Chain A
Amino acid sequence: MRTIIILGAVALIAVFLISQYNRLIRLNITVDEAFAQIEVQLKRRADLIPNLVETVKGYAKHEQSTFDAVVTARAKATSATGVADTAAADGMLTQALRGLLAVAEAYPDLKASTNFLSLQEELATTENKVAFSRQFYNDNVRELNTAVRTIPSSFFAGFAKVGEREFYEVEDPQDRIAPNVKF
């Protein structure tokens, strides 16, 4: 009887230890996958840009500085590695693209062209996908970091070789401007 109780207790403890360890590993893998998703979506956006720039150029030849900004930002974004670098380059490219679309506003012929409209829709959905993949990544990092820092999972972090991860933070100057209050 006593051996059964002892064996049962040992088995319960083993299940607890394994589940704690596995949870950390699983969270860590999810964060990796979430970051890969960001990179996939950033790549999609980068692939759209040459076509978009060419289309806008066809109508607005005299906006060379805007085109240059987009092309430079794109080159930086495609060569960036690591969370902080990627996030910084991502923010720059988002800004440059905003500039490009603002330029397009001034050309009614361009805005009416079907090619531009379909590119604009594709860019809109890709921008959203980038934003949602960032959000998904940051949510998972938050969950992982909480697990790494709270008891009891914090005891297993060293053993599982899982540590806190970096948030994906995009510097967006527009975020610092207080939003307009509408009534």
Chain B
Amino acid sequence: MNFRTMQAANRRKTIGLLIGMAILMWCVVYAALTYFGGSSAAIVPIAVGISLISVWGSYYGSDKLVLTMTGAKLIQESDNPKLFGLIQEVIIASGMPMPKVAIVIDSAPNAFATGRNPEHALIAFTTGILDAMDREQLQGVIAHEMAHVANRDTLVSAVAATTAGAIAIVSDMLARMMFFGGRRENNNNANPLALIVSLFILILAPLAAVMLKSAISRKRESLADATAVSFTRNPAGLRSALEVLAADSTVVQQRSTAVAHIWIESPLDSKSVSKMFSTHPPIQERIAVLRSMESLN
């Protein structure tokens, strides 16, 4: 499998997962209607509205917001000519506009990309990653971050977060209704089995939404690895960079867990967290995939 087929497969899977998200939303609405009757229909637009406002506000200002949340500082070319030279190499390879560049003062090696479109992109690196990696490894990391920008992953994760947020709000509201008033309308013709199933859906939907959101995030990470190789044609660079990250046990001093998914190596996922909920594929798996691409050359 080369990077082109890998990119296509990852894109298809993301679309499949987003469709899964839509189906889940539909199930929740259907369950709400079955259990509570027509009056609960009003909850859905309210929940979607709240979720849209909160998520899209942060999507639009993602570059500025993330700067304050991670404590990253913007830098100019004169501050680090070597890093800018490396970024320019990847820019030329990908044909994208130059992003803003920021540094996070943190000894843990990590990096991230954000911004609502390639014109408003921001990529950031910790001082730890700049110290720990050589030219080729850093080039792989930059290509991975620019791949997130090229694949518009800020948009994809915003869509996923909106849907997951809306589902959580709907379930939460319905749970309160259940607690305080139970079923308002007596629709006697309802099938008891359907009622039980609906209740289950309402309880489990938020969990399923978070799992789908994490699955989308994992697919986007794999896609970014494949796209990075399409830029540099050098899987070895990114692979050895990931090996450095895997060998390092220090974790970025996160100020907020809300931005955990944007880093190249997850600051949250530890062995205790189930794979279903992690935002990144296991790093050894990513290394193995890149190794298989190397053997093709």
A129 touches B233 (CB 8 A): no
Besides the known contacts A125-B82, A125-B88, A129-B88, 10 further A-B residue pairs in the complex with CB atoms under 8 A apart: A37-B92, A41-B92, A121-B82, A125-B89, A128-B139, A132-B89, A132-B92, A132-B232, A136-B92, A136-B94
Instruction: Select which of B85, B92, B135, B232 is within 8 A of A122 by beta carbon.
Output: B85
- Tell me the A1-52 residues at the B interface (CB within 8 Å): 30, 34, 37, 41
Contacts of A121 in B (CB 8 A): 82, 85
A136 touches B85 (CB 8 A): no
Q: Does B41 contact A (CB under 8 A)?
A: no
Q: Does B105 contact A (CB under 8 A)?
A: no
The smallest C-beta distance from B171 to any residue of chain A, in angstroms, reads 44
Q: Does B95 contact A (CB under 8 A)?
A: yes
The secondary-structure label for the interface of chain B is helix
Q: Does A145 contact B (CB under 8 A)?
A: no
Rounded to whole angstroms, the CA-CA distance of A121 and B82 in the bound complex is: 8
B93 touches A136 (CB 8 A): yes
Q: Does A86 contact B (CB under 8 A)?
A: no
The smallest C-beta distance from B280 to any residue of chain A, in angstroms, reads 27
The smallest C-beta distance from A148 to any residue of chain B, in angstroms, reads 20
Q: Does A135 contact B (CB under 8 A)?
A: yes
Rounded to whole angstroms, the CA-CA distance of A125 and B89 in the bound complex is: 7
Q: Does B86 contact A (CB under 8 A)?
A: yes
Rounded to whole angstroms, the CA-CA distance of A128 and B88 in the bound complex is: 10
B95 touches A136 (CB 8 A): yes
The residues of A with any CB-CB pair to B shorter than 8 Å are 30, 34, 37, 41, 121-122, 124-125, 128-129, 132-133, 135-136
Contacts of A132 in B (CB 8 A): 89-90, 92-93, 232
In the complex, residue of chain A having the shortest beta-carbon distance to the beta carbon of B85: A125
B82 touches A129 (CB 8 A): no
Contacts of A124 in B (CB 8 A): 135
Convert B63-88 into 0s and 1s, putting 1 for each residue whose CB lies closer than 8 angstroms to a CB of A: 00000000000000000001001101
In the complex, residue of chain A having the shortest beta-carbon distance to the beta carbon of B90: A132
Also in contact, A135 and B233, with CB within 8 A (given A41-B92, A124-B135): yes
Rounded to whole angstroms, the CA-CA distance of A121 and B86 in the bound complex is: 10
Rounded to whole angstroms, the CA-CA distance of A34 and B94 in the bound complex is: 11
Q: List 24 A-B contacts (CB under 8 A).
A: A30-B95, A34-B95, A41-B92, A121-B85, A122-B85, A124-B135, A125-B82, A125-B85, A125-B86, A125-B88, A125-B89, A128-B89, A128-B139, A129-B89, A129-B92, A132-B89, A132-B90, A132-B232, A133-B92, A135-B233, A136-B92, A136-B93, A136-B94, A136-B95
Contacts of B232 in A (CB 8 A): 132
The smallest C-beta distance from A3 to any residue of chain B, in angstroms, reads 38
The smallest C-beta distance from B225 to any residue of chain A, in angstroms, reads 18
Contacts of B90 in A (CB 8 A): 132
Contacts of A133 in B (CB 8 A): 92
Q: Which 4 A-B pairs have the closest CB atoms?
A: A125-B85, A132-B93, A132-B92, A128-B89
The smallest C-beta distance from B186 to any residue of chain A, in angstroms, reads 49
The smallest C-beta distance from B12 to any residue of chain A, in angstroms, reads 21
In the complex, residue of chain B having the shortest beta-carbon distance to the beta carbon of A125: B85
Scoring B85, B89, B90, B92 by chain A CB atoms within 10 A of each residue's CB, the highest score goes to B92
B93 touches A135 (CB 8 A): yes
Contacts of A136 in B (CB 8 A): 92-95
Rounded to whole angstroms, the CA-CA distance of A30 and B233 in the bound complex is: 21
Rounded to whole angstroms, the CA-CA distance of A136 and B86 in the bound complex is: 16
Rounded to whole angstroms, the CA-CA distance of A122 and B232 in the bound complex is: 19
Convert B85-128 into 0s and 1s, putting 1 for each residue whose CB lies closer than 8 angstroms to a CB of A: 11011101111000000000000000000000000000000000
Rounded to whole angstroms, the CA-CA distance of A81 and B139 in the bound complex is: 31
Contacts of A128 in B (CB 8 A): 89, 139
Scoring A41, A129, A132 by chain B CB atoms within 10 A of each residue's CB, the highest score goes to A132
In the complex, residue of chain A having the shortest beta-carbon distance to the beta carbon of B136: A128
In the complex, residue of chain B having the shortest beta-carbon distance to the beta carbon of A128: B89
In the complex, residue of chain A having the shortest beta-carbon distance to the beta carbon of B84: A125
The smallest C-beta distance from B195 to any residue of chain A, in angstroms, reads 48
Rounded to whole angstroms, the CA-CA distance of A12 and B293 in the bound complex is: 42
The smallest C-beta distance from B13 to any residue of chain A, in angstroms, reads 25
Rounded to whole angstroms, the CA-CA distance of A41 and B88 in the bound complex is: 11
